[in-house]
Structure 1
Amino acid sequence: MDSPLLEVYQYKDRELSSHLLVQLNALRQEGIFTDVLLCSDDMEIPCHRNVLVSSSPYFRAMFCSNFKERHQDRIDLKAIASSVLSGIVDYVYTGAITITMELVLPLMQAASMLQYNRLFEACSTFLQEQLSPDNCLSMIRLSEILHCASLREKAKEMAVRSFSDVAASEEFHELSLPELLCYLEDDRLCAEEEQVFETLLAWIHHDPFSRRGAIHDLFKRVRLRYIHPTYLFQFIANDPLIQSSTLCTEIIESVRRLMFSVSTKCSEDLGPLWVTPRRYTCHETLVVVGGRKNSEQTSREALLFDERTQRWQWLAKLPVRLYKASYVCIHSILYVLGGLAMTSGDGVVSTTVYTLSLKTNQWRTAEPMLHPRYAHQSVSYLHFIFVLGGIGPDKQISNTVERYNSMFNLWEPMTTMPTPVLHPAVAANDQRIYVFGGEDAMQNPVRSIQVYHIARNLWCRMETRTVKNVCAPAAVIDDKIYIVGGYTRRVIAYDTKANKFVKCENMKERRMHHAATVINNKLYITGGRYINSHDVIEDSDCFDCYDPKTDVWTSKGTLPYKLFDHGSLPLVCVSNNPNPP
Structure 2
Amino acid sequence: MEEPRVFRDEFFPQLLLESLREMRNSGALCDVILICDGEIPAHRLVLSAASPYFRGMFNLGLKESKEERIEIECMDGVVLRAAIDFMYSGELKASDDILLPLLEASSLLQLGSLRSACMHELVQSATPYSALESCGSVANKLGLVELENFFHRLTIEHFEKVAFGDSNQQWLDAPAEAISPLFNHFSIFSYPAALVLKAILAWVLHDTSGNREEHLKTLSHIVKDVNKSELDSKLKSLISHKPDIYEWLSSLCAEIPPAGEVPNKKELQVVVVIGGLSPNGPIKTVECYTADSPISTSWTLYLPDNTQLHHTRENTVRTNLIDRIVPPMKCARVYAASAFLDYEIYVIGGECDWAPMSGEASMECYNTLTNSWKSLPGVPLSQSVLEVDDEASEQDCLRLVGAAAAFVEGDLYVCGGKFEVVKHGENIVYAPPSKWMLPFGFSKGTWAFNATKNKWRKCNPLLQARAYHGAASINGVLYAVGGIGATCKEHLTDCLDSVERFEPWSGVWRNVKLMPSPRAYFGCITFSQYIYVVGGHNLDCCKDTVFKYDTITDNWHVIEHHLRTPVDSLAACSLKYPVDTPKNVQTHAFLLGGRNSHSGIRDANIYNFATNRWHCLQSLICGRVGANAGMLRAPATDPSAM
* TM-score, length basis structure 2: 0.46
Q: Which amino acid aligns with 1:190?
A: F
Per-residue Cα deviation, 1:3-24 (whole angstroms, up to 9, x for no partner):
xxxxxxxxxxxxxxxxxxxxxx
Of the three residues 376, 380, 392, the one matched with 1:370 is: 380
Q: Which residue of 2 aligns with 1:508?
A: 564
Q: Which residue of 2 aligns with 1:283?
A: 268
- Distance verdict in 2 for CA 1:465–1:306, change over 3 Å: closer
Q: Which amino acid aligns with 1:289?
A: I
Q: Which residue of 2 aligns with 1:389?
A: 416
- Distance verdict in 2 for CA 1:480–1:220, change over 3 Å: farther
User: What is the aligned residue count?
Assistant: 330
Partners of 1:465 and 1:330 lie apart in 2 by 27
Partners of 2:336 and 2:348 lie apart in 1 by 6
Q: Which residue of 1 aligns with 2:636?
A: 575
Partners of 1:377 and 1:547 lie apart in 2 by 24
CA contact 2:401–2:467 (8 Å) conserved in 1: no
Q: Which residue of 2 aligns with 1:327?
A: 338
Shift of 1:325: 2.1
Q: Which residue of 2 aligns with 1:354?
A: 364
| Helix, strand or coil at the partner of 2:213 | helix
Partners of 1:540 and 1:344 lie apart in 2 by 29
Q: Where in structure 2 are there 5+ consecutive unaligned residues? A: 1-158, 160-178, 201-208, 223-263, 302-325, 382-398, 422-439, 487-491, 537-541, 579-586
CA contact 2:273–2:286 (8 Å) conserved in 1: yes
Please list, as runs of the form range in 1=range in 2, the aligned pairs for 1:513-528 lying within 5 A after superposition: 513-519=569-575, 521-528=587-594
Per-residue Cα deviation, 1:397-446 (whole angstroms, up to 9, x for no partner):
11111000123222100000000012112211012111121111222112
Per-residue Cα deviation, 1:375-396 (whole angstroms, up to 9, x for no partner):
2111112211001111225561
Shift of 1:344: 5.8
Q: Which amino acid aligns with 1:493?
A: K
Per-residue Cα deviation, 1:475-516 (whole angstroms, up to 9, x for no partner):
111111111011211001111112112221100111100011
Q: Which residue of 1 aligns with 2:130?
A: none
Q: Which residue of 2 aligns with 1:462?
A: 512
Per-residue Cα deviation, 1:554-579 (whole angstroms, up to 9, x for no partner):
101211111110001011111359xx
Q: Which residue of 2 aligns with 1:308?
A: 292
Q: Which residue of 2 aligns with 1:40?
A: none
CA contact 1:485–1:512 (8 Å) conserved in 2: yes
Of the three residues 503, 522, 526, the one matched with 1:476 is: 526
Please list, as runs of the form range in 1=range in 2, the aligned pairs for 1:84-95 lying within 5 A after superposition: none
Partners of 1:466 and 1:306 lie apart in 2 by 34
Q: Which amino acid aligns with 1:282?
A: E
CA contact 1:349–1:393 (8 Å) conserved in 2: no
Partners of 1:429 and 1:220 lie apart in 2 by 34
Partners of 2:350 and 2:464 lie apart in 1 by 21
- Distance verdict in 2 for CA 1:186–1:291, change over 3 Å: closer
Q: Which amino acid aligns with 1:541?
A: R
Please list, as runs of the form range in 1=range in 2, the aligned pairs for 1:92-131 lying within 5 A after superposition: none
Partners of 2:545 and 2:343 lie apart in 1 by 31
Partners of 1:312 and 1:189 lie apart in 2 by 28
Q: Which amino acid aligns with 2:521?
A: C
Q: Which residue of 2 aligns with 1:434?
A: 479
Q: Which residue of 2 aligns with 1:239?
A: none
Q: Which residue of 2 aligns with 1:190?
A: 189
Q: Where in structure 1 are there 5+ consecutive unaligned residues? A: 1-159, 161-179, 202-209, 224-278, 532-536
1:292 aligns with 2:277: yes
Q: Which amino acid aligns with 2:569?
A: H
1:496 aligns with 2:543: no
Partners of 1:186 and 1:398 lie apart in 2 by 38
Please list, as runs of the form range in 1=range in 2, the aligned pairs for 1:213-292 lying within 5 A after superposition: 213-216=212-215, 281-292=266-277
TM-align CA RMSD:
4.1
Per-residue Cα deviation, 1:176-213 (whole angstroms, up to 9, x for no partner):
xxxx99x96999953599xx999999xxxxxxxx9884
- Distance verdict in 2 for CA 1:561–1:348, change over 3 Å: farther
Please list, as runs of the form range in 1=range in 2, the aligned pairs for 1:140-155 lying within 5 A after superposition: none
Partners of 1:558 and 1:543 lie apart in 2 by 5
Shift of 1:282: 2.4
Partners of 2:376 and 2:214 lie apart in 1 by 34
Sequence identity, in percent? Answer: 15
Partners of 1:316 and 1:199 lie apart in 2 by 39
- The answer to which structure, 1 or 2, has the higher relative contact order (CA under 8 A, 6+ apart) is 2
Per-residue Cα deviation, 1:120-166 (whole angstroms, up to 9, x for no partner):
xxxxxxxxxxxxxxxxxxxxxxxxxxxxxxxxxxxxxxxx9xxxxxx
Partners of 1:374 and 1:297 lie apart in 2 by 16
Q: Which residue of 1 aligns with 2:466?
A: 421
Partners of 1:186 and 1:376 lie apart in 2 by 32
Shift of 1:352: 1.9
Partners of 1:462 and 1:539 lie apart in 2 by 33
* TM-score, length basis structure 1: 0.51
- Distance verdict in 2 for CA 1:407–1:189, change over 3 Å: closer
- Distance verdict in 2 for CA 1:386–1:542, change over 3 Å: same
Shift of 1:522: 0.8
Of the three residues 311, 327, 343, the one matched with 2:354 is: 343
Q: Which amino acid aligns with 2:343?
A: S
- Distance verdict in 2 for CA 1:325–1:197, change over 3 Å: farther
- Distance verdict in 2 for CA 1:218–1:287, change over 3 Å: farther
Please list, as runs of the form range in 1=range in 2, the aligned pairs for 1:43-54 lying within 5 A after superposition: none
Q: Which amino acid aligns with 1:524?
A: F
Shift of 1:449: 1.0
CA contact 2:345–2:367 (8 Å) conserved in 1: yes
CA contact 1:340–1:348 (8 Å) conserved in 2: no
CA contact 1:349–1:374 (8 Å) conserved in 2: no
Partners of 2:468 and 2:345 lie apart in 1 by 21
Shift of 1:331: 4.3
| Helix, strand or coil at the partner of 1:312 | coil
CA contact 2:512–2:554 (8 Å) conserved in 1: no
Partners of 1:541 and 1:518 lie apart in 2 by 19
Q: Which amino acid aligns with 1:517?
A: C
Q: Which amino acid aligns with 2:269?
A: E
Q: Which amino acid aligns with 1:330?
A: L
- Distance verdict in 2 for CA 1:437–1:450, change over 3 Å: same
| Helix, strand or coil at the partner of 2:443 | coil
